[in-house]
A = this chain, B = another copy of it.
Amino acid sequence: MSDPIRHLQSLLPPHNTRHESATAYAPANIALCKYWGKRDSRLKLPVTGSLSVSLGAHGTRMTLRRAEADTLVLNGEAVDPGTATFRRLFAFLDLIRDPAHRLTINSHNTIPIAAGLASSASAFACAVKALEALYGWDLPPQLRSILARLGSGSASRSVFDGFVEWHAGSAPDGMDSFAEPVAPVWPEFRIGILTVSEAPKPVGSTEAMERTVRTAPLYTAWPAQVAHDLPRIRQAVLDRDFETLGQTAEHNALAMHATMIASWPPVIYWLPETTDHLHAVHRLRAEGLPVYATLDAGPNLKLLYTAEAGNDLKAAFPQLIQIEHTPAP
């Protein structure tokens, strides 16, 4: 086959120069059925499908402006061209933009970085949308998702609002590995952030993912876990069945951490407070409060609940940051 990235580039419309600048927005997302493990690291093709909820007004807003040289301002601070952040973002833009165009980027996370949600997902999804606006394109949604995926796997989901499923696909060129909306937002659905640590992670998530796939015999059963969880979560979203959604999402997140704990050397993102909070969530649930936890590649918990549990949770966890699940601005 021809090179999959060249093939994608051949699908793009011409780079017209009508606009001098453009602004776009993409939400962050939290996976309810996790993406853990790549089958192709260059094309960022996942081993399994995944399903997330986008975080409405919490994400990345980015303005691109045609310029003489590439520059990046992130949350008001200039980023050095030698940094990994700078190089990774512009290497990604090079896949899509006119090779002759240089850009000034002003990117702003509308979610506190402290909350541990300033992921690459919203940034890369937003970059695709901003380029699209700059060049006056209106790409097919699947192509938009595939392009975002090349920046960061989970960015494939952040091009949509609401509940979003990323299909694993099976084609070697990744043309069937894109996200699609499952359902719009669920007004009562809430996400609460319990920050345990804002320190840099001891192991980056890309390295953790690769180590798991390479060294954890238990990981061979991860596709079976997802085969169990993904259809249940999808149906629970469609049915607005919060209990099934919460149980399955927590089971899935703990199973993902289990595969890391079972890697070698072990990847244990949990800190003492993580363990403590997990037990607290289980105690609250035993007392009748419908609340579930999910965790990404780090020590912080995200609580899943519906609006009516908000006050009880705020009492149990005064530090809880409650995220209103509203549509993007």
What residues of B have a CB within 8 angstroms of the CB of A220 in the complex? 221, 224
- Render A211-255 as a binary contact track against B, CB cut-off 8 A, 1 for contact: 000001111111011011000000000000000000100110011
Q: Are A270 and B266 in contact (CB under 8 A)?
A: no
What residues of B have a CB within 8 angstroms of the CB of A227 in the complex? 217
- Render A187-218 as a binary contact track against B, CB cut-off 8 A, 1 for contact: 00000000000000000000000000000111
Q: Are B228 and A224 in contact (CB under 8 A)?
A: no
What residues of B have a CB within 8 angstroms of the CB of A34 in the complex? none
What residues of B have a CB within 8 angstroms of the CB of A258 in the complex? 218, 258-259, 261-262
Expressed in whole angstroms, the minimum distance between the Cβ of A300 and any Cβ of chain B is: 14
Alpha-carbon separation in the docked complex, A34 to B277 (Å): 28
Within 8 Å by CB of A276, from B218, B255, B262, B272, lies B272
Interface centre among A255, A264, A273 (most CB of B within 10 A): A255
Alpha-carbon separation in the docked complex, A270 to B270 (Å): 10
- Render A266-309 as a binary contact track against B, CB cut-off 8 A, 1 for contact: 10101111111011001000000000000000000000000000
Alpha-carbon separation in the docked complex, A94 to B261 (Å): 42
CB-CB nearest in chain B for A277: B272
Expressed in whole angstroms, the minimum distance between the Cβ of A191 and any Cβ of chain B is: 20
Expressed in whole angstroms, the minimum distance between the Cβ of A285 and any Cβ of chain B is: 9
Interface centre among A224, A257, A273, A275 (most CB of B within 10 A): A275
What residues of B have a CB within 8 angstroms of the CB of A217 in the complex? 221, 224-225, 227-228, 255
Within 8 Å by CB of A221, from B221, B271, B274, B275, lies B221
What residues of B have a CB within 8 angstroms of the CB of A265 in the complex? 282
Within 8 Å by CB of A222, from B218, B279, B282, lies B218
Expressed in whole angstroms, the minimum distance between the Cβ of A101 and any Cβ of chain B is: 46
What residues of B have a CB within 8 angstroms of the CB of A261 in the complex? 254-255, 257-258, 261
A218 touching B275 in the complex, CB below 8 Å, given contacts A247-B264, A250-B266: no
